[in-house]
Chain A
Amino acid sequence: MAEGVEATPARFEMRGVRKRFGATQALGGVDLVVQPGEVHALLGQNGAGKSTLMKVLSGAERPDAGEMKLDGAPYAPADPQAARRAGVAMIYQELSLAPHLTVAENILLGVEPARRGLLDRTAMRDRAARALAELQHPGIRTSTVVGTLPIAAQQIVEIARAVAVGCRVLVLDEPTSSLAQSDAEALFALIARLRAQGHAIVYITHFIEEAQRLADRFTVLRDGQTVGAGGAGGAGGARGGGEMAAATVPTIVDLMVGRRVEQLYPRGARVRGEALLEVDALQGMGKPAHASFTLHRGEVLGIAGLVGAGRTELLRALAGLDPIVTGRVKLGTVTGPATPGARWAQGMALVSENRKGEGLALGLSVADNLTLSSLPAIVRPRERRPLTERWIKRLDVRCQGPDQPIGELSGGNQQKIAIARLLHHGVDVLLLDEPTRGIDVSAKAQIYELIDGLVTREAPPKAVLMVSSYLPELLGVCDRIAVMCRGRLGPARPAAEWTEASLLHESALGSDSEAA
């Protein structure tokens, strides 16, 4: 990567790539050059053209114009299989593993070793084990059925599959979006090893901090154009964070958004009102093991913690979706457990972290999704349309209208409708689970503004309980933060008293470790 290596061709090179779908120019002349042993971050909002670019790279789409080279040789894959044979592998967000097959079967899917037509199971096991050992994850047993593995391990199996067939260019699409912090660390270590082995890695992400930490160079896409990139030549040296570190986070955000973002985390004058939700020694089935806190009107209480700590389970138990074993929940004047329907009636409801699977009915219209919880016995479309249009306008939702299937909207706009559903019903206590997961930077800013408005501009103000794994967001949005560790919720303290480091520390070790 040092200067003066012009003689050796780049591992992968893309020049002036264009792609048009009907009327939309998805890619308008994109350049991307990745050297061997380089981690290259690809940044951009949803719709910036990242996915199209990667589809072109992995052979799922043919470019209209432009040239691509792999190790100096022309590269024009007909389909993803051809790309993989040539040595380019995509690791998508939605993993493409066969959940019912074993780890070994998945790693060697399509390239199974066989002798006279019979599967050579021993060779399969050995090759799979070798691939995993190479990634320094020999702990994953090759005979395990993939569907029973945690997501993080499945991801490693997917990477092992690419490495096992000799892929030299790995494209990782939002790989940490479904991982816990500790698993993400393990993945970063793995990426570092792959880099050391000379693999070229394209790393697509929304998390600028993550890219900054990992990547040697970066490219920012906006509206199908390359709008910014780390310069050529290596100032960074062997370790990551070379040129990336030089570019500051706000600069990159501005590049991605195309305008200056004044304030990512707006904060109105917050006045803490009466206690709306009092939770005392709550225990669910397995998780949460113990949670006590009080949520007041006009405040945002954040819950940090690792994935699997029991944060989602806490919200689900509060919303009546999971059973409560012991403990007391006092909501306004009502005490005791309830069904989801009763919780809505009492004024508390959940926005799920899983929009696709649980939060929304993607095939149904915007109007249907908005009003699902508060339908009168007889539905009058004529009243529902203007009502939905008012919400669309109020939350600045980008859609064709109330009748558009919500699955066609972007993640950020879907999320606005998911939150509007609670507001339309007149809910007082909003339980938000990972409210900005999978949505792009400018939509995130709008969600933060919306949350701030809920506790400052509504009359009377609402109360928000928010779970997030993205620490800057928790620190920026919340008034108080509590950390959940292994099912136990620590004490809530003002956000100003926390730092990312202290949140991480308590997430990993629990609140008892503080004395140390």
Chain B
Amino acid sequence: MSAHAEPTAPQASAPRAGLAGRLWASPVLRKNLGAATGLVAVFVLFTILLAATRGLSFADPDNLETILRQTTIVALAALGATIVIVSGGIDLSVGAVIALATVVIAGLLHAGAPPALAALGGLAAGVACGALNGLLITRLRVVPFIVTLGTMLLVRGVAKGLAHDQKIDAPQSWLNELLARLPTSRAWLLFPPGVWLLFLLAFAVGGLLVYTRLGRHIFAVGSNEQAARLCGIPVARVKLAVYLLGGFFAGAAGLMQFSRLTVGDPTGANGLELNVIAAVVIGGGSLSGGEGSVTGALIGALIMQTLQSGCSQMGWPNWVQEIVTGAIIVAAVALDRVRHRRAG
């Protein structure tokens, strides 16, 4: 505060302590401190490794932008998965829904539809899958794990059927630029539109979870469904909304996947749901519900993408990446439990 009053004063430790104090007081940072530390650690590690062994700069702005672009698909889906996991549910159909969305978008473009309509079609396909998940879970009262295990296969089958078991090529359109590196003429945008969309939606979901009745109800249902019912919360409606949102974000991730691949691939995004769930869990989400945050999930997605980029730039084979990623997931969650026990 004194820094504002006396701008000429030499940079003492007091103003920095003030800023650090304020940051420390921010619950968003405090809750995600573990995950954020992990991200910084992974980043610093690869910066040093790459500089020492290959003379590459990991912290290069171009490289950072590439990592962000590559994170967008998993991160968008993770926004939906955060909502689902906070509600105490799980969605295994995310990968299949992403594939279906790319097929629908490519199919519509191929048939001559305008790009905006095709994009909406992809989102609608995602929402429809979410509706299917939500209705099956609330009406049949089957646990989400089983329902979405079923719809994972079902949706994948539909995608393959629609695409006649092959990739659908689509004519060039502005959809392809959503996640492409920005041309120099539009460098003022800083990030491609897809990344901006991610930021926008992340803010929206963060706000939804913290500042709306629906958001608090989602937390309550995940924390104790019986208590939520007792409090007069329409549990089934909340769950339906949760899976609709989950489907919407899978659809959005599908749109980005299409933008990156420029084809509709019914076999794409295979197993991606596990990366998405891992991102949420690394970010502090609890699979038993009632815990999780958007910031955490985004950090989780970034950690995994940073690992992947770092490993491939080091020239390490794929299997090393997989071992490292697996170890990080287990370590992250184990650390989180230790922290919880201390706090409790």
Contacts and interface: CB of A to CB of B under 8 A. Distances in A.
Instruction: Tell whether A pairs with B.
Output: yes
Interface of A: 319-321, 339-345, 349-350, 352, 354, 357-364, 368-369, 371-373, 375-381, 408, 421
Contacts of B217: 372, 375
B232 A377 contact: no
A244 to B, nearest CB: 37
The 7 closest A-B pairs by CB, nearest first: A361-B223, A341-B232, A344-B232, A358-B226, A361-B224, A375-B213, A373-B231
Given A358-B224, A363-B223, A379 B230 contact: no
B227 A379 contact: no
Interface residues of B, number: 24
Contact of B231 (A340, A362, A363): A340
Contacts of A364: 219-220, 223, 290
A339 B232 contact: yes
B211 A340 contact: no
A372 B231 contact: yes
Contact of A379 (B216, B231, B232, B290): B216
19 contacts: A321-B229, A321-B230, A340-B232, A340-B233, A343-B232, A344-B231, A358-B230, A363-B223, A363-B290, A363-B291, A371-B216, A372-B233, A375-B213, A377-B212, A377-B214, A379-B211, A379-B212, A379-B213, A380-B211
A368 B220 contact: yes
A361 B232 contact: no
Contacts of B227: 352, 358-361, 369, 372
Nearest to A316: B230
B333 interface: no
A28 to B, nearest CB: 24
A340 B230 contact: yes
Nearest to A351: B230
A349 B232 contact: yes
B212 A361 contact: no
B201 interface: no
Given A340-B232, A378-B211, A362 B224 contact: yes
Nearest to A359: B227
B234 interface: yes
B281 to A, nearest CB: 16
A22 to B, nearest CB: 11
Contacts of A349: 230-232
A321 B233 CA distance: 11
Contacts of B223: 361-364
Contacts of A344: 231-232
B314 to A, nearest CB: 40
Contact of A421 (B210, B229, B231): B231
A343 B214 CA distance: 19
Interface of B: 210-217, 219-220, 223-224, 226-234, 290-291, 344
Contact of A372 (B210, B211, B228): B228
Contacts of A357: 224, 226
A339 B237 CA distance: 13
Given A361-B227, A375-B216, 18 more contacts: A340-B231, A340-B232, A340-B233, A341-B233, A342-B232, A349-B232, A352-B227, A358-B227, A360-B224, A361-B290, A363-B223, A364-B220, A372-B228, A375-B213, A378-B211, A379-B211, A379-B216, A421-B231
Q: Which of B214, B231, B234 has the most chain A CB atoms inside 10 A of its CB?
A: B231
A319 B290 contact: no
A477 to B, nearest CB: 23
A360 B225 CA distance: 10
Q: Which of A344, A349, A364, A376 has the most chain B CB atoms inside 10 A of its CB?
A: A364
Contacts of B233: 340-341, 372-373
B213 A376 contact: yes
Contacts of B216: 368, 371-372, 375, 379
B212 A378 contact: yes
Contact of A373 (B212, B214, B232, B290): B232
A377 B213 contact: yes
A176 to B, nearest CB: 24
Contacts of A377: 212-214
B278 to A, nearest CB: 22
Nearest to B344: A408
A427 to B, nearest CB: 10
A381 B216 CA distance: 11
Contacts of A369: 227
A149 B120 CA distance: 55
A57 B299 CA distance: 46
Nearest to B291: A363
Contacts of A371: 216
A430 to B, nearest CB: 13
A350 B220 contact: no
Nearest to A319: B230
A401 to B, nearest CB: 13
Contacts of B291: 363
A361 B211 contact: no
A344 B233 CA distance: 10
A150 B291 CA distance: 33
A69 B229 CA distance: 51
A199 B211 CA distance: 58
Contacts of B212: 377-379
Contacts of A380: 211
B344 A361 contact: no
Nearest to B223: A361
Contacts of A375: 213, 216-217
A139 B294 CA distance: 55
A360 B230 CA distance: 9
A166 B228 CA distance: 45
B226 to A, nearest CB: 4
Q: Which of B211, B226, B227, B344 has the most chain A CB atoms inside 10 A of its CB?
A: B227
Contacts of B230: 319, 321, 340, 349-350, 352, 358-359
A486 B344 CA distance: 43
A313 to B, nearest CB: 14
A205 B290 CA distance: 33
Contacts of B229: 321, 340
